[in-house]
Amino acid sequence: MPIKNKLKLDRTATPPLARVEKLNVLLPEKLALPNGIPVYVFTGMQQDAVKVEWVFNAGKWYEHERLQASMTARMMKEGCKDYPSHEFNDLLDFYGATVKSSAGPDTSSFQLYSLNKHLAQVLPMIEDVIKEPLVDPRDLEIVVQANREQLKVNLMKPDYLADKLYSETLYGSTHPYGYDLELADYDNLAPEKLHSYHKEFYNASNCSIVVSGNVDSKVMKLIEREFGGADWLGDKPRVHLRKDLDSKERVSRNEVMQGSYQSALRIGKKMFNKATPDYQEFSVVNTILGGYFGSRLMSNIREEKGYTYGIYSGLSSMRHGGHLIVSTEVGVDVRQAAIDEIYAEMLRLQDEPVSQDELELVRNYMLGRLQNGLDGPFKVASMYKGLYTYELDIDYIYSLVEVINTITPERIQELANKYLDPTTMHEITVG
């Protein structure tokens, strides 16, 4: 036998695989500022850069009126008394710093990205803007005008409209998790409404801080100096009780948009949040159904039928609820065929146990993704924010690893039967 044949590579054989057995999770250092603000620190990075995130219980859940949460957060990027909008943004640019500010369903967040070398100059401005933002009426008017124009564009998009109808269907159009904006909501907005919202919720007693990146004692001293004082103590927000729509009745809505090339589909139902016992196990079921590129929905509806560019299912978690959503945009002519296939995939999970082979693939995939999501201080910090705001801790990740490694095909089938009954799914189509 000639020697070169001995060296011939067998390209059909899969190289041996190693499962991610253990995750090395960078643990938070948990501190408290003198005024009691909890601080979670994730350090260890080569780049001289830090990210500081201030988290307040000031999301939509706490609003008295629509737009208060998101617009208060938005206007915090428009400066304070000593540094009005232009000066504030100009100086941030000058120091190469970036800020992001947003309000979610439950919490609001102000994020600063800065090089270590400029932090001492940047942080005092951030202090001002967090403790006492300006909300200049003229700046507000300009921001509102831009937002209204953007909203007009969004209201012409089938996918945007479908998302809007879907959350209204689940929670009701007056609920903080359910409402989505109308143009008219901007008509009633005034600086006082944002000032009062800020005054009520943006205080030290309602704040936590996550610091990640190259965090040394110098960084921590600066944060303590600017944010550790008793000058901005306040009240913790009272827990509001919100009544959401009793959406047991199955809703099926079809909005026609003339001349549309595609239909946006949203299918799903109310579920639970990540602190609920079934959540981690169901996240495996969701991954199999539509949580990754090799999922059953993607394989069937994109890779076999070519109905869509993409289809996903996902779990949304809020403090006071959660839901399942299957979302896709398909050609108008195959809309019903796609809906039928989505339900067929749910039924298949109920009727047949997942093969060991598919389950093994999903286990490896989920563990690999988890490892990727925990790579480096920035990523661990944002994952941790999604834990402690639900009063969960790092052991949640370890228990997820355990669930991924041990869940059985029988349990998956049981969960599919419990939660994936097509007759309980709401169905929204636009286009």
Partner 1 sequence: MIKYERFTLDNGLRVLVHEDETTPLAAVNLLYDVGSRDEDAEKTGFAHLFEHLMFEGSKNIEDFDEPLQRAGGESNAFTNNDITNYYDVLPASNLETAFWLESDRMLSLDINKESLDLQRKVVIEEFKENYLTQPFGDVWHLVSALAYKVHPYQWPTIGRNLEHIEGFKLNDVKQFFKKYYVPNNAILVVGGNVKVDQVKGLSEKWFGDIPKGKPINRLLPKEPLQTEKRVLEVHADVPGDALYKMFHMGDRNSDNFYVVDLLSDILASGNASILYRRLVKELRLFTEIEAYVTGTSDDGLLILEGKLVPGANMKKAEKALDDELDKFAQSLINERELLKVKNKQESVTVFSEVNLLHRAMNLAYYEVLGDANLINTEMDKYLAITTADVLEHSQNIFKQENSSVIYYYANKK
Note whether 100 binds partner 1 by CB under 8 A.
no
CA distance 410 to 412: 5
According to CB under 8 A, which residues from 121 to 160 bind partner 1? 142, 145-146, 149, 152-153, 155-158
Report the 3 state secondary structure along the chain.
Answer: CCHHHHCCCCCCCCCCCCCCCCCCCCCCEEEECCCCCEEEEEECCCCCEEEEEEEECCCHHHCCCCCHHHHHHHHHHHEECCCEHHHHHHHHHHCCCEEEEEECCCCEEEEEEEEHHHHHHHHHHHHHHHHCECCCHHHHHHHHHHHHHHHHHHCCCHHHHHHHHHHHHHHCCCCCCCCCCCHHHHHHCCHHHHHHHHHHHCCHHHEEEEEEECCCHHHHHHHHHHHCCHHHCCCCCCCCCCCCCCCCCCCEEEECCCCCCEEEEEEEEECCCCCCCHHHHHHHHHHHHHHCCCCHHHHHHHHHCCCEEEEEEEEEEECCEEEEEEEEEEEHHHHHHHHHHHHHHHHHHHHCCCCHHHHHHHHHHHHHHHHHHCCCHHHHHHHHHHHHCCCCCCHHHHHHHHHHHHCCHHHHHHHHHHHCCHHHCEEEEEC
Among 34, 137, 368, 386, binds partner 1 (CB under 8 A): 368
Pick from 50, 200, 32, 34: nearest CA to 111: 50
CB of 101 to partner 1, least distance (A): 13
Considering beta carbons, is residue 124 or 331 the nearer one to partner 1? Answer: 331
Pick from 43, 147, 157, 60: nearest CA to 108: 60
CB of 115 to partner 1, least distance (A): 6
Among 188, 254, 336, 372, binds partner 1 (CB under 8 A): 372
CB of 244 to partner 1, least distance (A): 31
Contact 353, 424 (CB under 8 A): no
Considering beta carbons, is residue 278 or 304 the nearer one to partner 1? Answer: 304
According to CB under 8 A, which residues from 290 to 319 bind partner 1? 292-294, 302-304, 306-309
Among 371, 390, 409, 422, binds partner 1 (CB under 8 A): 371
Tell me the window of 246-254, 339-347, 370-378, 397-405 that interacts with partner 1 (CB under 8 A): 370-378
Tokens of 52: 């500081």
Among 107, 167, 262, 429, binds partner 1 (CB under 8 A): 262
According to CB under 8 A, which residues from 329 to 348 bind partner 1? 329-331
Tell me the window of 57-65, 68-76, 345-353, 374-382 that interacts with partner 1 (CB under 8 A): 374-382
Considering beta carbons, is residue 162 or 170 the nearer one to partner 1? Answer: 162
CB of 2 to partner 1, least distance (A): 15
CB of 340 to partner 1, least distance (A): 18
According to CB under 8 A, which residues from 172 to 201 bind partner 1? none
The angle subtended at Cα 109 by Cα 217 and Cα 277, nearest 5°, is: 100
User: What x/- string results for residues 68 through 97 when contact with partner 1 is judged by CB under 8 A?
Assistant: ---------xx------xx-xxx-xxxxxx
Considering beta carbons, is residue 107 or 212 the nearer one to partner 1? Answer: 212
CB of 19 to partner 1, least distance (A): 8
Note whether 261 binds partner 1 by CB under 8 A.
yes
Considering beta carbons, is residue 65 or 304 the nearer one to partner 1? Answer: 304
According to CB under 8 A, which residues from 196 to 255 bind partner 1? none
Note whether 5 binds partner 1 by CB under 8 A.
no
CB of 315 to partner 1, least distance (A): 19
Tell me the window of 190-198, 219-227, 362-370, 410-418 that interacts with partner 1 (CB under 8 A): 362-370
Tokens of 143: 């921001």
CB of 240 to partner 1, least distance (A): 33
Contact 73, 101 (CB under 8 A): yes
According to CB under 8 A, which residues from 13 to 52 bind partner 1? 14-20, 24, 44-49
Considering beta carbons, is residue 196 or 371 the nearer one to partner 1? Answer: 371
Tell me the window of 28-36, 230-238, 359-367, 406-414 that interacts with partner 1 (CB under 8 A): 359-367
Count, residues near partner 1 per rule CB under 8 A: 73
Tokens 């080569």, residue? 46
Phi and psi (nearest 5°) for 342?
A: -60, -45
Considering beta carbons, is residue 38 or 294 the nearer one to partner 1? Answer: 294
